[in-house]
Amino acid sequence: MKSRSLSVPSLLIALGVGLSPWMAQIQAEDWPQFRGTNSAGVAPLGTSLPAEIGPEKNVLWKAALPPGHSSPIVVKNKIFVTGVRDKKQLLTMALDRSTGQIIWEQEAPHEELEKIHSIGSFAQSTPAADDERVVSFFGSSGLYCYDHAGKLLWKKAMGPFNNDFGAGSSPIIVGDRVILCQDHDQGSFLAAYDKRTGEQLWHVDRGIDFSRNWCTPVVWNVDGKSQIVLAGTLKVVGYDLETGKTIWTVRGVSRVVCMTPVIGDDQHLYVAGWSAGGDPGERIALDAFDKVAPEYDQDKNGTFEEAELPKGALRQRFTQCDRDKDGKVTRAEYDEFRMLFDQSQNVVLAIAPGGQGDISESHVRWRFSRYVPFCASPLYYQGRVFTVKDGGILTCLDAKTGEPKRTARVSGTGDYFCSPVAGDGKVYLLSQEGKLTVASAEDQWKTLGTGDFGEEAYATPAIADSKLYIRTAGHLYCFGNK
């Protein structure tokens, strides 16, 4: 494999992830998990990438793949990805990095497929890998660890979970540990497993405070100690990597979080969260239980059944409110759901390092509550925070102050489930419709190039060794400067 002159410390600083001992093994040519190293979404310095990209532009190879929403990862000479064949086979696949040819695939057996969103997939979680192992996760089956030759080393049975939208959070590998968070309507947890054996090292019950969320953990190195950071229902939490104990909490985010935070090279944490009913002027508010019970509780049994409810916010989200899935909404479930709407805040915010306890007031440096994206994670790049909201609304914020620099629509005006990535002074945005926009990474950003793949896209692109990898509904593309 071609080597680079970039040192590991300078690479990590360029990625904006902070230094910690477990990162020493990271290679500049790799993209080892969802959005690359520590979910930063940024290629290392020295990367050269084309601005003109499309099905016929700067394509190095194209490979057919079974459908799936997981993002490609790149480690050593292989690309790892998951997919679903014949709507039932859950597959982990390894592809040759230079040609896209499938080298091996392994099936994850299951007794029952999980429930998923109407546009979802049974392969939504992105695998993670280091130079020894690759770990994949399926909500219908559990956690699987293979070596790079495809040999199964261990597995942890899990799922299906109590969530009709399916599992989406991805595992990460941190040194000798695999970290996995699963937030669902019941049984939410954060856990650490031994990378070599699969033994559970610790487990944090998040079920009381956290319902369905899809945030992938990130690692924040603060004062020489590593923290696991997760955004979820109404708050952001930092956990001790060694023990799982809570270190700090920031309150004041959305009731559901689909995005993954990012750490800048300024060592600040940037978080975004959006859910329906949380925007100023468009807030959803539910009346008190006793006020609506005479109308809703038609059979007078003290609970609400879906057929009893009028059209509106509650009926539309009945399965979310009914956390135990018994077909009834109790007073306690209703009151909790009402509270979530009351306290939900759609926001992008910056958090300073070093806090303990409730740091909602002391360590939040700024908040920005306009043009907040739904699923696409924020991107920190070169002192700026970029976000893309459904409709193709791209916003550039000053990372120090939160001051908006430019907001405008890009050519892909559909929804965005893929998160933006960056390299070589460029920001790459891929819409659900498969339309790509390449924007300049500057305050007054401008469009450098566009492309249309003619297929839907849900996977976040990967960048490795000056190659851009884009997964669509049926293919994986590799792009580079020819």
Per-residue pLDDT tens digits for 179-211: 999 999 999 999 999 999 999 999 999 998 999
> Is pLDDT above 70 for 407?
yes
Residues 20 and 157 in one domain: yes
2 falls within a domain: no
CB 254 within 8 A of CB 210: no
Tokens describing residue 163: 């969530």
Residues 171 and 143 in one domain: yes
Residues 353 and 264 in one domain: yes
The range of the structural domain enclosing residue 326 comes to 289-343
Q: What is the CATH number of the domain that holds 397?
A: 2.130.10.10
Pairing of strands 426-430, 421-423: antiparallel
326 falls within a domain: yes
| pLDDT band, very low/low/confident/very high, at 22 (cuts 50, 70, 90) | very low
Tally the domains of the chain: 2
Residues 269 and 360 in one domain: yes
Domain end call among 297, 321, 343? 343
Query: Which residues partner with 173 through β-bridges?
Result: 178
Average pLDDT estimate for 391-403: 98
Vertex 176, ends 173 and 177: CA angle to 5°? 50
Average pLDDT estimate for 3-20: 40
Average pLDDT estimate for 300-318: 96
Average pLDDT estimate for 106-117: 97
Residues 29 and 104 in one domain: yes
Residues 312 and 398 in one domain: no
Convert the pLDDT of each residue in 206-248 to its tens digit. 998 999 999 999 999 999 999 999 999 999 999 999 999 999 9
> Is pLDDT above 90 for 1?
no
Q: What's the pLDDT score for residue 224?
A: 93
149 falls within a domain: yes
> Is pLDDT above 60 for 27?
no
| pLDDT band, very low/low/confident/very high, at 482 (cuts 50, 70, 90) | confident
283 falls within a domain: no
281 falls within a domain: no
Q: What's the pLDDT score for residue 29?
A: 80
280 falls within a domain: no
Convert the pLDDT of each residue in 36-45 to its tens digit. 999 999 999 9
Q: What's the pLDDT score for residue 9?
A: 36
CA distances for 325 relative to 290, 319, 340, angstroms? 22, 7, 18
Average pLDDT estimate for 405-419: 97
Q: What's the pLDDT score for residue 28?
A: 58
CA distances for 371 relative to 30, 215, 396, 405, angstroms? 32, 19, 10, 13
